[in-house]
Amino acid sequence: MTNSTRGHCLCGAVQLQAMLPARWVAHCHCTMCQRAHGAGVVTWAGFDEAAVQVDDAQGQLRWYASSPEARRAHCGRCGTPMLFASSRWPGELHLARALLDEALTQPPTAHVFHDTHVDWLVLGDTLPRHAATDSD
């Protein structure tokens, strides 16, 4: 892939490559992301599904349904949370931004599900903050 970014899990068993640019980049504060990643916020980059290649030669990528409309994937060897897909965003695959080796051309543009933001994490930016009930 030309004009692409690469990434991988902690142990390197699952490799990702995505055509740039991403459709969007945003910080998610939903409680499911918080629990799945063990973090107060997760930065996601959204790509068209067809723009993402997953190299899982060792068969370590594990998908599970985190809700009736969403699936998450992690490396079965090292446990790294990696991907998110949902019927709410058909045709998109969301990659955990921290996995990508190269800088993206676009920075995060918003905080989403900010109504469940943890009080122990202070945000110092002026990005828009959207609640879970805000329209897409």
**What was the pLDDT predicted at 27?**
98
- Decide if pLDDT at 136 tops 60: no
What is the reported pTM? 0.92
**What was the pLDDT predicted at 36?**
96
- Segment 2-9 long-range contacts (CB within 8 Å, at least 24 positions apart): 5/100, 5/101, 5/102, 5/104, 6/100, 6/101, 6/102, 7/95, 7/99, 7/100, 7/101, 8/99, 8/101, 9/60, 9/74, 9/75, 9/77, 9/78, 9/80, 9/82, 9/99
pLDDT 10s digits, 37-63? 999 999 999 999 999 999 999 999 999
**What was the pLDDT predicted at 132?**
87
Domains located in the chain, CATH noted: 4-116 (2.170.150.70)
